[in-house]
Structure 1
Amino acid sequence: MSYQTLKVRYQDPVCFIQFYRPEANNTINDLLVEECLQALTQYEQQATIIVLEGLPEVFCFGADFKGMQQSDNGHTANRQGPEPLYDLWYKLATGPFITVAHVRGKANAGGIGFVAACDIVLAEEAAVFSLSELLFGLLPACVMPFLIRRIGFQKAQYLTLMTKPVSVQQAHSWGLVDAYEANSDSLLRTHLLRLRYLSKTGVVRYKKYMTRLADLAAAKPLALAANVEVFSDTDNLQRIARYVQTGLFPWES
């Protein structure tokens, strides 16, 4: 398949999916979500391992505010709504494959959702992690069920309330990152060499079992409702519009 927002390659038994929107700071739009779901569906039966990667400077920076402004003059935050993105993260968390996030550079907002949904998170030493939503009056509503599952309620709350980036060392101590090195490509290769020993049947059984232990499906309605609420608030939409137009945060004059 041909993709506009991704680079996808398959090297049995690994499918590499790279977010590739350099012109938009690797932000998330409807097409990226749709293409990610298509790629996962295409390879879910044959791939034992899915690797998510970004660009060297940015893994994924969250919602595409500029694209949102260009859509219906900012009155529609996301034409498809939040459900497809939640479904994408749910598929990463529960699908019949081992998911590995390889994080270089910045992971922010929805980028943290991709990280938290994956089974294993590897990062370079310069990687940073942040949730900036509350700066604009928004909530990381769909991120939180996956993030709480990974690092616990209070650490997820701290990351949300403080809004500032944390280092890879801090993220590792919290359990958001499993391992990091200066040369994360080498780290990824080492992990893939080991993960290749796992059979597809064993991985499928394991993921089914783990899905039953953490019920992400139950959190979905609450997460979607909270997302719709904050993206329907006209004050929040004005803050986003001002940021897109001027680059200024809400408290800056």
Structure 2
Amino acid sequence: MEYQTVKVREQQQICFLQFYRPEANNTINDRMAEECHHVLDRYEESAKILVMEGLPDVFCFGADFQEMHDRMANGRQSERNPGRLYDLWMRLATGPLLTISHVRGKVNAGGIGFVAASDIVLAERTAQFSLSELLFGVFPAAVLPFLIRRTGTAKANYMTVMTKAISAEQAASWGLVDACDDDSRSLLRKHLLRLKPLSKSAVVKYKRYMQRISEPLAQAKPIAVKANLEMFSDPQNLTGIYWYIETGKFPWEE
């Protein structure tokens, strides 16, 4: 498969997956979700560790509003498949690979889903984490089951309703980030050195065990997907998103 939204390389049973949509601020579209699924299909057997990275200034910035705007501008209904993205995060959280998010720059909205679904989260100290959905009349339905698993309900609620970015150090104190440093690349290298000796079979058995005790994630899927589809088919919400892309102003500034 020729990838358009990600870059992939494998080195000593480590698969490096880089989100690569610089022209779109590393936002998520259906193609990115499908390409990530393809990477997992391809490397789940041969690799032991998956490292997800973004660009130096943005890890992943959530749903591609520009693509949604363009579809609406052309008279087409927004075609979305939140279930497929939820399944991707489930594979990261419960599949046979040890998953690491190496976060630099900003991570927002759906990007938090990748982070919260990871086994280990490493961040540059200048990284910022936010959930901006409520500014547009929607909420992070698919993200929240994974975020709550890491931070607990109270902190996930605070991030959702406040909509403002928190620092890497704050995210670490809440459990969203496991370790942060000024030199996150060095931090990643140290973690990989520690993880490399683990046997593939031990990792697989451990992740299968974790899957059995992570049933709430599976149970939450139909509720999360239904809420996501309802919010993003609401004409008022879609109008607010369209207005934001056209003018750079939030819906209440209309």
For the residue of structure 2 that corresponds to 1:71, the secondary structure is helix
Q: 2:193 is aligned with what amino acid? A: L
Instruction: Give 1:80 shift.
Output: 4.0
For residue 31 of structure 1, what is the aligned residue in structure 2? 31
Whole-Å Cα distance in 2 between the matches of residues 89 and 225 of structure 1? 17
Q: 2:219 is aligned with what amino acid? A: A
Instruction: Give 1:72 shift.
Output: 4.4
Whole-Å Cα distance in 2 between the matches of residues 213 and 152 of structure 1? 16
Query: Residues 75 and 237 of structure 1 are in contact (CA less than 8 Å); yes or no, is this contact kept in structure 2?
Result: no
Please list every run of 5 or more consecutive structure 2 residues that lacks an aligned counterpart in the other structure.
none
For residue 66 of structure 1, what is the aligned residue in structure 2? 66
Whole-Å Cα distance in 2 between the matches of residues 37 and 236 of structure 1? 29
Instruction: Give 1:71 shift.
Output: 1.9
For residue 131 of structure 1, what is the aligned residue in structure 2? 131
For residue 250 of structure 1, what is the aligned residue in structure 2? 251
Q: TM-score, normalised by structure 2?
A: 0.97
Q: TM-score, normalised by structure 1?
A: 0.97
Instruction: Give 1:82 shift.
Output: 0.6
For residue 107 of structure 1, what is the aligned residue in structure 2? 107
Q: Does 1:232 pair with 2:233?
A: yes
For residue 197 of structure 2, what is the aligned residue in structure 1? 197
Instruction: Give 1:176 shift.
Output: 0.2
The verdict on how the C-alpha distance between 1:72 and 1:251 changes in structure 2, with shifts beyond 3 A counting, is closer
Q: Does 1:152 pair with 2:143?
A: no
Instruction: Give 1:23 shift.
Output: 0.2
Aligned-residue Cα RMSD (Å) equals 1.1
| Between 66-75 and 181-190, the greater mean CA deviation after superposition | 66-75
For residue 92 of structure 1, what is the aligned residue in structure 2? 92
Whole-Å Cα distance in 2 between the matches of residues 119 and 81 of structure 1? 24
> Which deviations, in whole Å up to 9, do the C-alpha atoms of 1:29-51 show, x marking residues without a partner?
01100100000110000110000
Instruction: Give 1:69 shift.
Output: 1.4
Whole-Å Cα distance in 2 between the matches of residues 138 and 201 of structure 1? 41
Identical counterparts, % of pairs? 63
Q: Does 1:142 pair with 2:152?
A: no
Whole-Å Cα distance in 2 between the matches of residues 75 and 131 of structure 1? 27
Q: How does 1:182-221 map to 2 (within 5 A)?
A: 182-215=182-215, 216-221=217-222
For the residue of structure 1 that corresponds to 2:100, the secondary structure is strand
Instruction: Give 1:108 shift.
Output: 0.1
Whole-Å Cα distance in 1 between the matches of residues 143 and 54 of structure 2? 18
Q: 1:28 is aligned with what amino acid? A: I
User: How many matched pairs?
Assistant: 252
For residue 2 of structure 2, what is the aligned residue in structure 1? 2
